[in-house]
């Protein structure tokens, strides 16, 4: 830390992203990216746009909002487009939390939430997941403050039903409930259909997972026009050109290419089911996943040792250190070939121990 760093941030612990190693080729199952390239049309459209890079991108992202609105069944003024969904989440902490409205989220969830709370200097309350790692809806409803809920949750992969989300939105109409739907495409029902009933719902989405555009950085929020206005006030006060024009055009191309997206979704779900079965055959406990990853532990060794042993053999998964989950590893679902390679390595490790 330099002596110039503001004391406001001296206690801040930044988010630690999953490893993106550049030194060697790993089988990379650690950051929930798509194992498939983005739609070929996306790459073509992005290239076509390099010619107009002398101009700023459209700060209103009008074309993409119109296309998104059509595909989601909402009005364009219910959508705000951002540089990944992390950005809209940060704006939500900024906009809807303060000393009277602390952020409220489960103790085991997306690791960025406590960081967003800290950087925006708002208090936060962590509600423990239940024994079976499901979300404690009653406790969230009873807590005062702005709820942030990843659904399905990460890193557990567990989906919460829509009636539970509705219960949270109804519990206190004077607070915002943010539903982070980064993984909703892999088996869940979206809270979009609740928007007509609850004007305190904010849904965040990303192109980083199923839509294979993690490196393009594209996300968005959906909610009432009034909520969007608040978020836009902050966006225009921070970075009106937050999404670059190549990424905007890639988003449009991906939206049109529904076939590739559905095909990839079906493949990932199929390989996820195979992976769950193979892990269980080897004695793993696997939490029920509605995502593109599985969260699993083996009685044969602790989570950190398994993570290290896999890494030493060229397979990257994600390990987390909090007490309750440190025997688990989060394994992204790759292609069938990648998962076969994962199991070959896993069997070497586990076989060597028995």
Ligand X SMILES: *Cc1c(COP(=O)(O)O)cnc(C)c1O
Closest distance between ligand X and the C-beta of residue 202, in Å? 13
Residue 315 lies near ligand X (rule: CB under 6 A): no
- Residue 110 as a binder of ligand X (CB under 6 A): the answer is yes
Query: Which residues between 165 and 184 bind ligand X (CB under 6 A)?
Result: 180, 182
Query: Which one of the spans 39-47, 165-173, 206-214, 299-307 is the region binding ligand X (CB under 6 A)?
Result: 206-214
Q: Where are the alpha helices (DSSP H) in 240-301?
A: 245-256, 258-281
Name which position in 84, 114, 157, 187 contacts ligand X (CB under 6 A): 84
Only segment of 22-30, 83-91, 241-249, 281-289 that touches ligand X (CB under 6 A): 83-91
- Shortest spacing between CB 206 and ligand X, in angstroms: 3
Reading the block at residue 168, the tokens are 């949270």
Tokens of 37: 């390239």
Between CA 89 and CA 111 the distance in angstroms is 12
State the Cα–Cα distance between residues 266 and 116, nearest whole angstrom. Answer: 33
Question: Residue 322 and residue 107: Cα distance in Å, rounded?
Answer: 10
Could you tell me if 170 and 198 are in contact, meaning their C-beta atoms sit under 8 angstroms apart?
Answer: yes
CB 163 within 8 A of CB 132: no
Which residue is associated with the tokens 């909520």? 227
Alpha-carbon torsion angle 22, 27, 28, 33, nearest 10: 120
Residue nearest to ligand X (CB): 84
User: Under the criterion CB under 6 A, does residue 242 sit at the interface with ligand X?
Assistant: no
Which residue in 46, 80, 86, 92 binds ligand X (CB under 6 A)? 86
Query: Does 334 interact with ligand X (rule: CB under 6 A)?
Result: no
Among the listed residues 57, 78, 190, 206, the single contact to ligand X using CB under 6 A: 206
208 touches ligand X by CB under 6 A: yes
DSSP letters for 129-173:
PPTTS---HHHHHHS-SEEEEESS-TTT-----HHHHHHHHHH-T
Q: Is 148 in the site for ligand X (CB under 6 A)?
A: no
Mask: binding to ligand X, 269-288, rule CB under 6 A, as x and -?
Answer: --------------------
Q: Is 224 in the site for ligand X (CB under 6 A)?
A: no
**Would you count residue 160 as binding ligand X (CB under 6 A)?**
no
Residue 34 makes contact with ligand X by CB under 6 A:
no
Mask: binding to ligand X, 118-147, rule CB under 6 A, as x and -? ------------------------------
**Which is closer to ligand X, CB of 116 or CB of 284?**
116
Could you tell me which residues are beta bridge partners of residue 295? 330
For 33, 97, 241, 289, the CA distances from 46, given in Å and listed in that order, are 20, 36, 17, 33
Cβ closest to ligand X, residue 79 vs residue 349 = 79
Give buried/exposed letters for 123-138 (b at 16+ CB in 10 A, else e). Answer: ebbbbebeeebbbbbe
Q: How many CB atoms lie within 10 A of CB 83?
A: 19
Between residues 84 and 303, which has the closer beta carbon with respect to ligand X?
A: 84
The number of residues that bind ligand X (CB under 6 A) is 13
Does position 219 interact with ligand X (CB under 6 A)? The reply is yes
The only residue of 30, 57, 85, 224 in contact with ligand X, by rule CB under 6 A? 85
- In the complex, the residues that contact ligand X under the rule CB under 6 A are 32, 84-86, 110, 150, 154, 180, 182, 206, 208, 214, 219
């Amino acid at each position: 830390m330099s002596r110039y760093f503001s004391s406001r941030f001296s206690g801040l612990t930044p988010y630690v992203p999953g490893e993106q190693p550049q030194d060697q080729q790993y089988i990379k199952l650690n950051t929930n990216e798509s194992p498939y390239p983005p739609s070929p049309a996306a790459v073509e459209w992005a290239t076509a746009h390099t010619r107009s890079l002398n101009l700023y991108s459209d700060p209103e992202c009008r074309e993409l909002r119109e296309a998104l609105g059509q595909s989601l069944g909402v009005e364009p003024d219910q959508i705000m487009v951002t540089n990944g969904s992390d950005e809209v989440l940060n704006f939500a902490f900024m906009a809807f939390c303060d000393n009277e409205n602390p952020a409220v989220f489960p103790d085991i969830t997306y690791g960025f939430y406590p960081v967003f709370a800290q950087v925006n200097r708002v208090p936060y309350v962590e509600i423990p997941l239940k024994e079976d790692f499901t979300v404690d809806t009653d406790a969230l409803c009873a807590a005062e403050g702005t709820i942030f809920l990843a659904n399905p949750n990460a890193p557990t992969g567990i989906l919460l039903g829509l009636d539970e989300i509705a219960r949270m939105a109804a519990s206190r109409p004077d607070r915002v409930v943010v539903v982070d739907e980064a993984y909703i495409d892999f088996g869940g029902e979206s809270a979009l259909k609740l928007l007509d009933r609850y004007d305190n719902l904010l849904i965040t989405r990303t192109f980083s997972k199923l839509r294979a555009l993690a490196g393009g950085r594209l996300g968005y929020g959906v909610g009432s026009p009034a909520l969007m206005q608040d978020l836009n006030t902050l966006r225009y006060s921070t970075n009106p050109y937050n999404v670059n024009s190549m990424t905007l055009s890639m988003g449009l191309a991906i939206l049109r290419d529904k076939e590739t997206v559905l095909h990839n979704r079906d493949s990932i779900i199929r390989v996820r089911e195979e992976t769950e079965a193979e892990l269980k055959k080897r004695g793993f406990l696997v939490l029920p996943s509605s995502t593109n990853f599985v969260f699993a532990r083996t009685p044969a060794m602790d989570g950190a040792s398994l993570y290290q042993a896999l890494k030493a053999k060229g397979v990257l998964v994600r390990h987390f250190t909090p007490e309750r989950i440190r025997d688990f590893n989060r394994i992204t679902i790759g292609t069938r070939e990648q998962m076969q390679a994962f199991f070959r390595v896993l069997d070497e490790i586990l076989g060597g121990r028995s």
